[in-house]
Amino acid sequence: GADRLEWRAEVGNLASRAVVLRAGFRLEGDQRSGLLNKGVRRDAWTAALLPSDLGLAGTHPYVPERRSPRPGGAPDPGR
């Protein structure tokens, strides 16, 4: 099986975004100049779906990044 499905769409494509969110995808952010559409670079939304998002095991173990509680998201120096 797949360990990760990725989705990208031009920023503003609300219909496509609604479909993937209903399917369980999680938004991951924006990509500046992430798509080429008819010869013009466009910003893109990105999202992904992992087996764990559906309560399933993946082919390979997944260890999420430990988020830092430090101001500004600075890395934890003890890491």
Q: What is the three-state SS of 4-65?
A: CEEEEEECCCHHHHHHHHHCCCEEEEEEEEEEEECCEEEEEEEEEECHHHHCCCCCCCCCCC
Query: Is 61 among the domain residues?
Result: no
Query: Is 16 among the domain residues?
Result: yes
Structural domain span for residue 35: 1-51
Query: What is the pLDDT averaged over residues 2-26?
Result: 97
Query: Is 10 among the domain residues?
Result: yes
Give the model's confidence band at 77: pLDDT under 50 very low, under 70 low, under 90 confident, else very high. low
Query: Is 70 among the domain residues?
Result: no
Report which of 19, 16, 17, 25 is spatially closest to residue 49, judged by C-alpha positions: 25
Is a pLDDT exceeding 90 seen at residue 23?
yes
Query: Is 22 among the domain residues?
Result: yes
Query: How many structural domains comprise the chain?
Result: 1
More confident position, 35 or 68: 35
Query: Is 7 among the domain residues?
Result: yes
Query: Is 68 among the domain residues?
Result: no
Query: Is 30 among the domain residues?
Result: yes
More confident position, 71 or 43: 43
Share of the chain above pLDDT 70, in %: 87
Token code pair at residue 48:
């992904």
Is a pLDDT exceeding 70 seen at residue 79?
no
